[in-house]
Amino acid sequence: MFPADCRICGDPLLNVSRLPVCAACLDAIRPISGGLCSVCGERLISPHAFSGEGGEIRCGLCRRLEQPYVKAAAYGSYEGGLRDLIHLLKYQHVRPAANVLGRMLGEAIAQLEPSFGAAKVAVVPVPLHAAKRRQRGFNQAELTARIALKLHPASDRYQFVGDALERVRDTQSQTGLTRHQRRENLRGAFRVNHPEKIANSEVLLVDDVFTTGTTVSECARILRRGGAARVWVATVARTLKADVQRAPLEPDLETDRTMAAHG
């Protein structure tokens, strides 16, 4: 039996599909547009442009602080249908959603390719703690990354290194924490498992969502300390300032309960 209704909008599904989401909802998920920071990918909401080296436009944070990664790119904004699709995979275990998310991750990777060097790029997913992975049954970052590379026309340019990073401490949820609290929460949470696999390599760090950037920044810092020459970041989605400002004041209680129940 297949679901009778779309899991995003609730409309009846007219075609049999492993993914219980209608075509209209999938078509409504669009790439990020508008002016973005050339380093972290944040939306530039100020009408005044701030230029960095080489005339690249940077947000205020990236002008003040040097990020541990070269550049971060995401496919879409973490809201609406894309947010729901990610939650279908992570919290409701609808694995066919990974096929769509993997294609989107591939488009984010394509944005970064012009700045890669000639050598192979090591692809490293942000890891889950072993207990969380056993509970969920999979690592969504690893799952979508494998699909993205499988669909990539030049997949031989990449080397998937799924065990390069390990999450050695099961941290609390980052939801509701300040930037400083997020950094403290992740301090010492990751380590490089096989430094010989990333030594002097260009590394592409992949995850499902870039929220404040604390997680990917900590992972990038550990990878560089472990011997990586340069690190890039690609995610399916990211939270944008303008979207946060547009968000309703009332909390999404159902989502909060679901996320809390799954850690």
CATH number for position 221: 3.40.50.2020
Q: Residue 159 has which token pair?
A: 């080397």
Q: Decide: 246 and 43 in contact? Cβ < 8 Å.
A: no
Q: Decide: 190 and 127 in contact? Cβ < 8 Å.
A: yes
Per-chain mean pLDDT for the chain? 86
The verdict on residue 177 lying in a domain is yes
Strands 165-167 and 190-192, by their bridges, are antiparallel
Q: Report the predicted TM-score, pTM, of the whole model to 2 decimal places.
A: 0.86
What b/e sequence results for 8-34 when a residue is b if at least 16 CB atoms lie within 10 Å of its CB, and e otherwise?
beeeebeeeeebbbbeebeeebeebee
The verdict on residue 147 lying in a domain is yes
Whole-angstrom Cα distance, residue 83 to residue 86?
5
Domain span at 190: 67-261
The verdict on residue 163 lying in a domain is yes
E strands, 91-134, are 121-125
The verdict on residue 131 lying in a domain is yes
| 262: pLDDT strictly greater than 90 | no
- Is the torsion defined by CA of 42, 198, 155, 101 positive or negative? negative
The verdict on residue 13 lying in a domain is no
Higher-pLDDT residue of 87 and 156 is 87
| 177: pLDDT strictly greater than 80 | no
Which residue type, as a one-letter code, is found at position 232?
Answer: W
The verdict on residue 10 lying in a domain is no
Total domain count for the chain?
A: 1
| Burial of 155 per CB tally in 10 Å (0-12, 13-18, 19+) | middle
What does the pLDDT read at residue 86?
A: 98
Find the DSSP H helices in 159-249: 179-186, 195-198, 214-225, 241-246
Whole-angstrom Cα distance, residue 130 to residue 258?
20
CA nearest 239: which of 94, 121, 80, 125?
A: 80
The verdict on residue 35 lying in a domain is no
The verdict on residue 140 lying in a domain is yes
pLDDT in tens, 181-228: 777 777 888 999 989 999 999 999 999 999 989 899 999 999 999 999
